[in-house]
Chains A and B, each alone.
Chain A
């Protein structure tokens, strides 16, 4: 981490106070609009060439964050600044040129490919949309991409259902690469795959990153895989970012009780370690994002919950260089809570 801060890092994506609320209407005559705060005031920065991991449990808003950045969803509030341009308020036609630079890999290898299109057409679709290549040139590009993801050009005429999950996921990767993007949002790209296949895909993503200079936003719920692939990790809970740090720092020195619990909940494939480790088991379930707890959203499941937690919402503060956490417990060297120093400002 230290050696990285020395070299000047170029910001590729900056997410500032991003909010995405979904509204659910209920009631027949008097409509009762309720906001589901899927992403509530999230800020982070992604530097060029790095992999930023985003972890959290289902419903924490990590996928919504990814989809809002790429503008599959409209932004409720906040800014998404990609390479100097603010995507958050652009219209769909204004954003189209950026679709060539930001791409996405999806979770479900079965649902993410159109079953009625050949693999070649799936991969070549972006070439057609942006009129990048036609005829023979298009075919060459498709064949190259197929080979790049470890498939062969004969596969171009086949249909998605003929491939295994891992192969399909690689087709999805090839599709996202067709436009030569700078930035790829990987939305749980390995969650639906078998263990031995996960490693294939992760290695491939890492190789491609090196070769093509890609930047990743890697969204997953599997902390061990995220730790493996990411340079920095953000932990989300109920629409909020609760901790951001470099991946080693996050693992060695987690500051937020939720991160601690999340880390200890990972089943370790090592019987001796597993038998001797003490697991922090969180009580209960994630509360509804429609009606989140007051103050700190994690307090209902936190073992250290104090009075202040229900009253004052902790904000994300840099408690060590490059390590951000949002918890009242985090104290500086003088024993003063970082939250106080920030709230007093």
Chain B
């Protein structure tokens, strides 16, 4: 027991109304602030978000900073990889041996200057003779055609002689003018990937927004009305899901042709079914909640109940499902473009870029690598992000 004497003033009574028993000590936080705070703690998810932001900037401002136009062709500088070996001709003259056995004038830091005109082109003997600043440069590329030779076994396809002596690669440099190299038309791959990002992301975004509006409206109405009408609406959804997307897109392209518009229409008119199902399920359970009943007893009209009460409460699952829908739309777009049902050239999406690169995959793998990397990373980022978002918006986690 407490033996210590207690100071007298401590025995003073405190009147009840001074105590503010109703004060809320925790800071006010809306649902979204709370979710954002929880999302912020999820590192992987934030990494995903950062990458998405980067990708959006990449698509929006990238093309203006790239210094190249996505459609400008320069056939003399086609199919140049992002990293290559250069040979020294004299003190400050360097050349790059193009995969088509043509010499290209480069600076030591990897800036491409242009094709060098050959003096002699002996197609039969498979060699070319150049005159560079008075030096006779002899490019012998017959080794690529000879099957059984020590050079072929060693993987040597050509030899370069300057004034009669063979030169070895001086060093390997980055392609300074075209960081991602150029494609078979000499267009800058970086600019095209950026531009492709624009197309791919906007198709995904527009398709998802279309899905959002149709899905939320359709699912919301079906869930709220319920009964026979609601069920009939969902059977229609079932029928739409039963049609293979591919068949649908092919039919659509037959009618309105291939291109940006038809892909958006195709994706937008099919993907909303998932959204509609999610929204309907949520609305079905929410409409029995007492706050909806309370709104009804206040005399709220259906539109008000939908817009003010039901949809804001379904927003969490809707947003999660939208962020999951975006990567799948990106992928579907890429896939459709890849099989040739996508946007028309010179427009480029990641899918068409991948498709274009396919023919030269052995020689120019970088042309496939960059768009594929962009697709994969973007999808991964969206998946990480939506996963974190789902946890952040899950009301069950709320404490």
Contact = CB atoms under 8 A, between A and B. Distances in A.
A and B touch in the complex (CB under 8 A): yes
Contact of A125 (B26, B29, B31, B298): B298
Contact of B299 (A106, A115, A126, A162): A126
A342 B136 CA distance: 128
Interface string A132-156: 0000000000000000001110010
B297 A104 contact: yes
Interface residues of A, number: 37
A116 B398 CA distance: 14
A193 B159 CA distance: 90
B28 A158 contact: yes
A294 interface: no
A99 B291 CA distance: 15
Nearest to A96: B299
A67 interface: yes
A99 B298 contact: yes
Interface in B201-260: none
A112 B290 contact: yes
Given A125-B300, A158-B28, A159-B28, A167 B22 contact: yes
Interface string B22-58: 1010101111000000000000000000000000000
| Chain A binding surface SS class | loop
A108 B28 CA distance: 22
B313 A152 contact: no
A115 B289 CA distance: 12
Contact of B291 (A96, A113, A167): A113
B24 A104 contact: no
A273 interface: no
Interface stretch (B7-15, B127-135, B304-312): B304-312
A129 B308 CA distance: 12
A129 B300 contact: yes
A22 to B, nearest CB: 13
A104 B291 CA distance: 11
Given A116-B313, A150-B22, A167-B22, A67 B299 contact: no
A19 interface: no
B316 to A, nearest CB: 10
B31 A106 contact: no
Nearest to A110: B290
Contacts of A111: 289-291
Contacts of A126: 298-299
A175 B299 contact: no
B290 A106 contact: yes
B293 interface: yes
Contacts of A172: 294
A167 B22 CA distance: 9
A83 to B, nearest CB: 17
Nearest to A161: B398
A163 interface: yes
A265 interface: no
B312 A116 contact: yes
B22 A151 contact: yes
A158 B309 contact: no
A65 interface: no
A44 to B, nearest CB: 20
Interface string A168-188: 000010010001000000000
Contacts of A288: none
B297 A103 contact: yes
Contacts of B22: 150-152, 167
Nearest to B27: A162
B313 A99 contact: no
Interface of B: 22, 24, 26, 28-31, 289-291, 293-301, 304, 308-309, 312-313, 315, 398
* A-B pairs with lowest CB-CB distance, top 6: A99-B299, A112-B290, A116-B312, A106-B290, A126-B298, A114-B291
Interface of A: 67, 70, 72, 96, 99-100, 102-104, 106-108, 111-117, 125-126, 129-130, 150-152, 155, 157-159, 161-163, 167, 172, 175, 179
Given A96-B299, A129-B299, 8 more contacts: A100-B299, A103-B297, A104-B293, A112-B291, A112-B293, A114-B291, A129-B298, A163-B24
